[in-house]
A = this chain, B = another copy of it.
């Protein structure tokens, strides 16, 4: 039954079912005391681990090397200061109420992140991840996404309709199915009576209908021109299971998740500015040395990025070190451009969403919140790997300059006008993080090894999941570590 539902895509997609949070009753029943746990890193994985263990009364201590909790869940606001390795500090001067999610920015509806938002009372709102009115900029040309999509679908439908009518499918499908297919293609491509693509209102209008019929766009380019435009990647960008519309964000900034978790865990349990320098697993506990002292506990959950963790002296064995060194950190960068007018809404009628480009800025994001307010932050680039390294190596001023030069190709001069301020982040240069996320060359025995504790030290983080770079990964991994640890505590003599 479940499998049949699955085939139709009907099985509930909540991830909840597998996880049972530790409860105080678990101990009461077995006459045990809750253990003491030291958690390395107060990012999302560390906070969730502390939050879930806290439900059963575990005594958790979090050691965070950075100045505040949250890790890559970082929302920047006016008054914040952003430092980076080998670079000048940036002072954020955004106006009141303006924010920039410098790390994760969107949540898919099936992700456990939404369950935590619900549980923690964090209001969510739609994140527009696909906007027909946003642009596609490829091979030097800019068109609205709706136009690119209508043209590509139109021609694909026409070509397949032609091939069908020429008999190319006669050996593949029956005449009845060909009729059904043509019926779909007519609709899919908005084809004319001769099953040809002659343009479509779906492309958009110079002036939309009102009292009059409006002024549709000119006719589309030829098939050759449309194929040469190379918009394919852009218009299929939201097809993936993790990018499909709709997506969501917490109202007021992604770090609301960090704030509510910190509140629930207890701020006094988090020591910030505490860089870990040694990890020792012992027969009866763990010992963690940091800048400010030594913490002894029954267990440890290490949630630092693997490449950071690998450099900390420990007695967990060479296999653990080798495994931690396996995933490759990936550079990722973003710039927040604060404008004094939301011209993208007023002039372009772009309310949220993403412009896809083949430029080194890759994407431009328009804010999905506070529509029609005075100011707004555009994400002027969100790039990874080579492009991110290129921007990361520049000074903040040069990053902005380059982002503006690129964005101007799409938006024209207004992209420079009314710019009030900006702040950019190169995650590979962030102290104690040093990467946007990691890539496993293969999900091999190293990946498997770290799913299990080394002595009394457990590992957790998005990097230990198949949801890398998503907060949901950090959360799922933390739940996994918590489950293992709690079972061990309950079963220990």
Contacts and interface: CB of A to CB of B under 8 A. Distances in A.
Contacts of A10: 135, 142-144
Interface in A304-359: 346-353
A217 B160 contact: no
A212 B131 contact: no
Contact of A465 (B124, B206, B211, B351): B211
A44 to B, nearest CB: 14
A158 B245 CA distance: 24
A371 B124 contact: yes
A162 interface: yes
A146 B218 contact: no
A372 B466 contact: no
Given A232-B187, A451-B211, A163 B169 contact: yes
A227 B176 CA distance: 10
Interface string A144-160: 10110010110010011
Interface in A457-483: 464-467, 472-473, 476-477, 480
B347 A12 contact: yes
Interface residues of A, number: 114
A210 interface: yes
A78 interface: no
A418 interface: no
A132 B163 contact: no
Interface in A115-159: 117-118, 123-126, 128, 130-133, 135, 141-144, 146-147, 150, 152-153, 156, 159
Interface stretch (A20-28, A177-185, A260-268, A279-287): A177-185
A224 B177 contact: yes
Given A125-B126, A206-B6, A232-B188, A14 B152 contact: no
Nearest to A118: B372
A7 interface: yes
Nearest to A153: B239
B246 A351 contact: yes
Contact of A206 (B11, B117, B207, B224): B11
A493 interface: no
A88 interface: no
A233 interface: yes
A477 B211 contact: yes
A203 B9 contact: yes
16 contacts: A6-B206, A8-B141, A8-B147, A9-B146, A9-B203, A9-B217, A11-B206, A109-B350, A110-B349, A159-B160, A159-B163, A159-B181, A173-B227, A180-B227, A188-B239, A210-B467
Given A177-B224, A209-B467, 10 more contacts: A13-B348, A14-B347, A14-B349, A15-B207, A114-B349, A126-B368, A130-B245, A131-B246, A211-B477, A214-B466
Interface of A: 2-3, 5-15, 18, 109-112, 114, 117-118, 123-126, 128, 130-133, 135, 141-144, 146-147, 150, 152-153, 156, 159-160, 162-164, 166, 168-169, 172-174, 177, 180-181, 183-185, 187-188, 190, 201-215, 217-218, 223-224, 227-228, 230, 232-233, 236, 239-241, 244-246, 248, 346-353, 368, 371-372, 451, 464-467, 472-473, 476-477, 480
